[in-house]
Structure 1
Amino acid sequence: MNADVELGERNATLQDREAHHHQFHIPENLRVLGHQIAQEIYYDDDNNEEVQHFQYKPELEHKFSVGSIVGLGFSLMNVPFGVASTLSIGLVCGANATIFWGWLLFGFFSIMISLSLSEIASKFPTSGGVYHFSCILSNEKYSLITSWFDGWYLLIGNLLMFVSYSFGGAQFVLSIFGLSQSDYKENSLLIMLAFVIIIFVSTIINLKFQGSLEKFNEVCIYWTFYTILIADILILLFASEFHNLKYVFTHFDASRSGWPDVVAFIIGGIQFSSMTFNGYGAIVSMSEEVKDPEKTIPKGLTYSIFASIVTGIIFIIPLLSVLPELSRLLDDNPDIFPIDVILKLSTRSFLVSLFISLMIVGAIVFACVGALTTVSRTIYSLARDHGLPYGSIWQQLNTTTDMETVPRNALLLAVFASMILGSFSLISTSAFNAFLGCSVMAMNVANGIPILCSLINKRKKIRGATFKLRKVGYVVNIFSCFMIFLTCIVLCFPPSLDIDIQSMNYSIVVFLIFSISIWVGYYAWGKENFVGPLLVVEPESNSVVKVETSRNATMVSLAAK
């Protein structure tokens, strides 16, 4: 009798356990999804390599090496001027801790994004860069419009970056007068004159010394490094008072921003750093001017960002160690760049601070030359795909006196557009800040679209890339998209809540105006004329080129088997 009772209780217990197991049983659809994800990650570890080629006649010289591409990326990020021009944002939003740790964090974010772009660029090396990637990696139905938007975001971002460097450089050059005149005030006509001179110098170098651009970009690496090294040495030699290490790395004061501390740190860290870590994606557009682009471009992307992070740290720490009171930097004379004040007060020498400032001016010239190079290549590539009206004019190549080819018309168009946009910056500093913020937003969106398209299509179309992220590809891509989204959101906020109509952040307004213009342009003209990237049909490859037409306009997209 007792044995029967025990047996019954045991069976009841087993039934309860079985019911409990079924209650928490993983649904079939989730198990299938998990299996598919695991399978996709497994295939990401494939060792096969396949570089996709394009149906474009090679017209530009393959003259850039890894070193010159690193120099170009280094010049576009332009650490000395990038730090100098946005230092006030970091000071308002927390000072030391925001500047140093924000730089490190955003540098890490930029490496993640560059890894995502490097993988795609190693499979599809093209001067069209990210807008070609978008067409290839998106769904066939939306490939044309996706590529159109990405191409124009890339063009606008590059153009505004060149304007921002040139106009900001003009402001910095004249701000040097504040080293000897504490009551210095900006003069609009002088700023415009300096702006025109910087653009003129950048244009002449790009037009007349095309054959020397490789060496020019390599020299940029040494100039930037020695600018920072000499500045650090002179600051440490001439300064008499230093903050301790705890103050340098942990001091935080966001009282001027009006934001909660965490929000102020995020806004300050991203806005201060993103202005420097901007434009590196544009070097993908140089793919047709390098040897072995499937290997050279990924190296150029990652090396230039890593070099910028390291040199930025070397530059920032000495500045923070001699940082004076914020009131002297931000209140005494807002027309003088804070870094000029730091140099003057720390070295206590006009000549020393002038020398350091002039070396930073040299770095500005390198940045402007590099920015004009990339925007001209973007115009050339977009015109070649009928993405610009009168494209036959802008895609023309001319031979220079040293027998080098250069897209002269595209370059002159970039100069003309920059002069017009620069005149808006002359009207108000808000316009300049809006252009600077919009440049970062447009470049980030342009970089993010192909990464997102690749994710949506389960990264199938980039299998066989020379540069492989392998099993961490999904993590890196998702993280990249999230950080791009966060950066664009943060760039819409003002660093300080104490704002008026003049100091308001209008970046999102400018970005929306450009976005609406791009949308109108597509349906008014681009839909019937724009052509996506022309890929070479390779029947034996793991992918096939599918051609569709829209009003006799060829749209070429890549579809994985």
Structure 2
Amino acid sequence: MAVPYGLAAPFATSLVGGGPAVIIWGWLLVAAFAMTLALSLAEICAKYPTSAGAYYWCYRLSSPRYRLLTSWINGWLTMVGVWTISLSVTFGTGQLLVAGVSIFHPEWVATTWQTYLIFLAVLFFSTAIGIFFSELLPLIDIISACWTLLGTLIILICVSAKAAVGRHSAAFALGHFDPSPSGWTPGWSFFIGLLPVTYTFSAIGMIASMAEEVHDPTRQLPRAITWSIPIGFLTGVFFLLPILFTLPDVATLLAVPGGQPIGVMFEMIMGSKGGGFGMFDGLCLNHSPSLNQWLISEFKIACTEPFFRAHELFREVFGIGMFCAISICCAASRATWAFARDKAIPMHNFFSRVSIVRGLPVPVNGYHLSTAIQLLLGLIYLGSTAAFNAFVGVAVMCLGASYAMPVLISLLNGREAMIDSPYPLGRWGFIVNAVAVLWVTFEIVLFSMPAVIPVTKSSMSVFPPLW
């Protein structure tokens, strides 16, 4: 889930929605609702562990009369969701890199086409790793987990120790709420600010796309889905709290060109360009020859030299984004391959083909299709600076709808099919399922709204004007 990246990339939206109170209490609220969806998906996934995921679950749970229709609808919701969530990660990581460069070169403001080219570099790198080095993916996942955990601790220590712009009281960090930047009423502004936290938990069901490459999926998949929420929640708490207690002036952050304030925020907190760049890079790639040596040295630096070696922290944010891009592009390729295998995509024979790369089977054509879709959708940014929020909103809505459909079908059938699930919810099943469906329904309404009103042609429309 790459929690620090998921919370950092759309961070400006939470600031617009109200600031600290939205960020921390919204994180708690969304985690609770996301847990109901995770439990609901885990129960179904345990019984039907397949890379097809939600659209296959709809097929198995629906009546014979409607199963083809519900499966087809769900499948395309899933495809649009996995393609746009992958795009949001690769595109957002590219934007983070632009923000990092601007720390050292504040006079340089990236044009839309320069941002697009950086996005292409991130996309092609992530795809190349998944195709040509698939044997390294398990190791990359382990390094990613270590990187995320250690990076979160380093950011916590260094931000708390430096606090160059001062520290806030608990009342501010946990309770300050200013909805004025959004233009919405206070209550709705709070929910608008939930975009980053909801985005972080939006792809939990993509774990099912890896079902056919997992040992004992009936047991492992539901565990992975459910444990991702509490682990992600705790990671987010340790990432967010030090930032909220040392948060710079919100108006200054919202005025940053390009709408990505993370780089400037870290620079201001650390009191130097090196410090800011160090923390920003912490959300990047591991350049150390030895993982163990790197882990020890990084933690030692964070604990003993937070003022002098803070530049090391930049690798923590951007790196998590790169790891997330590699993982999510991999999962998207499997989802694409599974849908093509079921003959639901044009030219399915081509896109369902599995190639042998360096001795291992890889759905190369599925990768190519997923990459091409992201490449084309990324062009939207050339006509609208609101593209990233649009990508995130579409991904959250489509994936949420695809996850809610099988849960709703199960509910309408009286949960009869879940009686013999290896991961049963028991007597709590009706309540948990109902809350999950209602939450996703609210999400869809919420993320159909613009983050800021009044809107302009550029900020509202995600497509370039015809004229």
Shared fold (TM-score, shorter chain, > 0.5): yes
Name the structure 1 match of 2:268.
345
Check the 8 A contact 2:418/2:424 in 1, yes or no: no
Please give the secondary structure, in 2, of the residue aligned with 1:405.
Answer: strand
Amino acid at match of 2:362: V
Name the structure 2 match of 1:194.
118
Name the structure 2 match of 1:166.
90
Amino acid at match of 1:473: G
> Of 363, 373, 390, which residue of structure 2 is paired with 1:407?
363
Check the 8 A contact 1:492/1:505 in 2, yes or no: no
Q: Which runs of 5+ in 1 are unaligned?
A: 1-76, 508-561
Shift of 1:193: 2.1
Check the 8 A contact 1:322/1:342 in 2, yes or no: no
Name the structure 1 match of 2:287.
none
Check the 8 A contact 1:97/1:249 in 2, yes or no: yes
> Of 106, 109, 120, which residue of structure 2 is paired with 1:185?
109
* Equivalent-residue separation in structure 1 for 2:108 and 2:150 (angstroms): 29
Report Cα offsets for 1:127-147 as digits up to 9, x if no partner.
110000011111221110100
> Of 250, 253, 257, which residue of structure 1 is paired with 2:178?
253
- TM-score (ref. length: structure 2): 0.89
Report Cα offsets for 1:95-139 as digits up to 9, x if no partner.
111110001110111111010000000111111100000111112
Name the structure 2 match of 1:322.
246
Name the structure 2 match of 1:525.
none
Aligned length: 429
Check the 8 A contact 2:23/2:193 in 1, yes or no: yes
* Equivalent-residue separation in structure 2 for 1:417 and 1:85 (angstroms): 21
Check the 8 A contact 1:89/1:268 in 2, yes or no: yes
> Of 207, 219, 231, which residue of structure 1 is paired with 2:143?
219
* Equivalent-residue separation in structure 2 for 1:502 and 1:189 (angstroms): 16
Check the 8 A contact 2:253/2:265 in 1, yes or no: yes
Name the structure 1 match of 2:293.
none
Name the structure 2 match of 1:551.
none
Q: Which runs of 5+ in 2 are unaligned?
A: 283-316
Check the 8 A contact 1:396/1:407 in 2, yes or no: yes
* Equivalent-residue separation in structure 1 for 2:69 and 2:210 (angstroms): 23
Shift of 1:432: 3.4
Q: Are residue 355 (structure 1) and residue 312 (structure 2) matched?
A: no
Amino acid at match of 1:251: H
Please give the secondary structure, in 2, of the residue aligned with 1:399.
Answer: strand
Please give the secondary structure, in 2, of the residue aligned with 1:323.
Answer: coil
Name the structure 1 match of 2:169.
244
Name the structure 2 match of 1:440.
396
* Equivalent-residue separation in structure 2 for 1:452 and 1:339 (angstroms): 38
Name the structure 2 match of 1:8.
none
Name the structure 2 match of 1:309.
233
Q: Are residue 497 (structure 1) and residue 462 (structure 2) matched?
A: no
> Of 420, 424, 429, which residue of structure 2 is paired with 1:468?
424
CA RMSD of aligned residues (A): 1.6
Instruction: Single out whichever of 472-481 and 215-224 deviates more from structure 2.
Output: 215-224
Report Cα offsets for 1:254-276 as digits up to 9, x if no partner.
1222222222112212x131121
Shift of 1:336: 5.4
Please give the secondary structure, in 1, of the residue aligned with 2:258.
Answer: coil
Check the 8 A contact 1:319/1:342 in 2, yes or no: no
Shift of 1:184: 3.7
Report the CA distance shift for 1:336/1:89 in structure 2 as closer, same or farther (over 3 A).
closer
Please give the secondary structure, in 2, of the residue aligned with 1:335.
Answer: helix
Report Cα offsets for 1:363-395 as digits up to 9, x if no partner.
111111111111111111111111112211111
Amino acid at match of 1:419: L
* Equivalent-residue separation in structure 1 for 2:92 and 2:326 (angstroms): 14
Shift of 1:399: 1.6
Amino acid at match of 1:405: P
* Equivalent-residue separation in structure 2 for 1:117 and 1:218 (angstroms): 24
* Equivalent-residue separation in structure 2 for 1:199 and 1:257 (angstroms): 31
Instruction: Single out whichever of 111-120 and 279-288 deviates more from structure 2.
Output: 279-288
Q: Counterparts of 1:112-123 in structure 2 under 5 Å?
A: 112-123=36-47
Q: Are residue 89 (structure 1) and residue 13 (structure 2) matched?
A: yes
Name the structure 2 match of 1:124.
48
* Equivalent-residue separation in structure 2 for 1:181 and 1:227 (angstroms): 25
Q: Are residue 289 (structure 1) and residue 213 (structure 2) matched?
A: yes
Check the 8 A contact 2:384/2:461 in 1, yes or no: no
* Equivalent-residue separation in structure 1 for 2:73 and 2:225 (angstroms): 23
Please give the secondary structure, in 2, of the residue aligned with 1:383.
Answer: helix
Name the structure 2 match of 1:5.
none
* Equivalent-residue separation in structure 1 for 2:189 and 2:462 (angstroms): 19
> Of 141, 148, 154, which residue of structure 1 is paired with 2:65?
141
Check the 8 A contact 1:93/1:256 in 2, yes or no: yes
Amino acid at match of 1:255: S
Shift of 1:404: 1.6
Consecutive aligned runs of 4 or more in structure 1 exceeding 3 Å deviation: 181-184
Check the 8 A contact 2:3/2:235 in 1, yes or no: yes
Check the 8 A contact 1:494/1:505 in 2, yes or no: no
Q: Are residue 480 (structure 1) and residue 436 (structure 2) matched?
A: yes
* Percent of aligned positions that are identical: 31
Please give the secondary structure, in 1, of the residue aligned with 2:181.
Answer: coil
Report Cα offsets for 1:340-368 as digits up to 9, x if no partner.
22211111021121111112111111111
Name the structure 2 match of 1:386.
343
Instruction: Single out whichever of 210-219 and 480-489 deviates more from structure 2.
Output: 210-219
* Equivalent-residue separation in structure 2 for 1:190 and 1:252 (angstroms): 35
Q: Are residue 371 (structure 1) and residue 328 (structure 2) matched?
A: yes
* Equivalent-residue separation in structure 2 for 1:132 and 1:336 (angstroms): 39
Shift of 1:400: 2.0
Shift of 1:505: 6.3
* Equivalent-residue separation in structure 1 for 2:140 and 2:126 (angstroms): 12
Name the structure 2 match of 1:452.
408
Amino acid at match of 1:313: V
Please give the secondary structure, in 2, of the residue aligned with 1:140.
Answer: coil
* Equivalent-residue separation in structure 2 for 1:213 and 1:182 (angstroms): 36
* Equivalent-residue separation in structure 1 for 2:128 and 2:258 (angstroms): 30
Check the 8 A contact 2:47/2:218 in 1, yes or no: yes
Q: Counterparts of 1:520-559 in structure 2 under 5 Å?
A: none
Report Cα offsets for 1:1-28 as digits up to 9, x if no partner.
xxxxxxxxxxxxxxxxxxxxxxxxxxxx
Amino acid at match of 2:46: S
* Equivalent-residue separation in structure 2 for 1:493 and 1:421 (angstroms): 20
Amino acid at match of 2:347: Y
